[in-house]
Amino acid sequence: MNNSGFTDQKKSFFGFDFVLAVMVLALCTVGILFIYSSGINSDNFQTSTEFIKQIVFSIIGIACAVLVLFIDYSRFRFLSVYLYILSLVVLVFLLIFSPLINGSRSWIGIGGFGIQPSELVKISYILVFARFIENKQKEIGTLKVFAEAFLLMLLPAGLVLLQPDLGTASVYFALFFIMFYFGGGNARYIVFSLLVVIMTSVITVLPHWEVLIAQRKVPLLLLLTDPVYYFPFLFFWLFVFIVSAVGFFVYKKSFFYRIAYVSLIVFISLVLGKIGSGVLKDYQIKRLIVFLDPKVDPYGSGYHILQSLTVIGSGGFSGKGFMNGTLGKYDFLPQRSTDFIFSTIAEEWGFAGCFFVLALFGAVMIKIILAARDSKDIFGRMICIGVFALIFYHMVINIGMTVGVMPITGIPLIFISYGGSSLISSLIGIGFVLNIRMRRFGI
């Protein structure tokens, strides 16, 4: 117990963090309000029932969070493994039996509602990875543990990527890097993996960049696109790695180590980049690069970004007023209740409203960090870090894509965008944080 424990206990009932709960409910309320507003048409009629569904999702999510709150989180050490295995089974089931909806096999229909299991799997992954990090503390810095941890993440991420759902799959990578780093993982391995992810992404999209952005043949890219050049180039880097690795083990010189480090990154990225080009759809790859210059495809992949920037700019400082967003009403902005709900907020509440929403997110994340700091064990601390990473990544990527600095990946603005699975999973995550915060006194 920290020195301020008694004071904190008097401020809240059994250590329950009412402030965090109220701020999260405020974000959910903002979401419902703007989902309602986004359904108003040019004749001021409500044309959507999404806001009603979001209210139902909120009630379900709050009920799940309350249920989690009354179960000591330490019991999930044992349950996390079974939840993780069940999650993998569900993801495999989706690939085999789920219908193709919007080019992806990621949904299960229940009545008039759709459930996206990959959103809920994020919580089971956070739980099992928190347990893994706690159990491996004595050897957390070794390559063996890093490889095991990476495989633990790659199983659900790979299954989600096969759906294909690039945006959701990327969330698992973010959870892995942030949790493993704060869990005491070796930074050298984390940097290596990050560089592989970044270089793989670049290699995957470069051929499309040549067509869309450069709009001319780039001879150097033949190394990536023409098999006559690709395979010699690939095996050249493999040869460099083998020679430099042998040189390092024989002579123990850092020079050989650095060459082996770089060459292995390039080799793995070349392989994964080729696989990525085959797995991802053309429209997904276009979305990854068109944000660099949306005008190259103004009526296709760049359309959403251009419209979003116009809508955001029209809001000015104070906005046009709630439900008075003219551009939204005339369907100027697609997906304004889901991926681009932040643009709707910017039009109607302006810069001031956006700042208010960002301040709420910031305060929520600070509260989660404090809960992690005060946790009585590593398992609880890492769950909090995982929930923090979940919220932070969703917020940065979603808002970034609405203002044109991030590619469009279909990642919702957590708590606010329309979508039951995302909302329920995020509220369950908050339930765990409140649980851990409440039990920091050992009750």
The answer to whether 374 and 440 are in contact (CB under 8 A) is yes
Q: What is the pTM assigned to this prediction?
A: 0.88
Q: What does the block give as tokens for 300? A: 């296709």
Per-residue pLDDT tens digits of the chain, which is 443 residues long = 444 333 344 444 557 889 999 999 999 999 999 999 888 876 677 777 888 999 999 999 999 999 999 898 999 999 999 999 999 999 999 888 877 776 677 777 666 567 788 889 999 999 999 999 999 999 998 989 999 999 999 999 999 988 878 888 999 999 999 999 999 999 889 999 999 988 988 888 887 777 666 667 778 878 887 888 889 999 999 999 999 999 999 888 888 999 999 999 999 999 988 887 776 666 667 777 776 667 766 666 677 788 888 888 888 888 888 888 776 666 677 778 888 899 999 999 999 999 999 999 999 999 999 999 989 899 999 999 999 999 999 999 999 988 888 888 888 999 999 988 899 999 999 999 999 998 876 54
DSSP state of 101: B
Q: Residue 419 CB: number of other CB atoms within 10 A?
A: 26
Residue-by-residue DSSP string for 271-327:
HHHHHHHHHS-HHHHHHHHHTT-GGGSTTTTTHHHHHHHHHHHHTTTT-S-TT--HH
The answer to whether 211 and 171 are in contact (CB under 8 A) is no
Q: What does the block give as tokens for 369? A: 């960090």
Beta pairing class for 108-110 and 113-115: antiparallel
The answer to whether 280 and 164 are in contact (CB under 8 A) is yes
Q: What does the block give as tokens for 38? A: 């986004």
- Counting beta carbons within 10 angstroms of the beta carbon of residue 40, is it exposed (0 to 12), middle (13 to 18) or buried (19 or more)? middle
Task: For residue 363, give the nearest of 17, 122, 59, 55 by alpha carbon.
Answer: 17
Q: Do you know the residue count of the chain?
A: 443
Bridge partners of 109, per DSSP, are 114
Q: Which amino acid is at 179?
A: M
The answer to whether 418 and 48 are in contact (CB under 8 A) is no
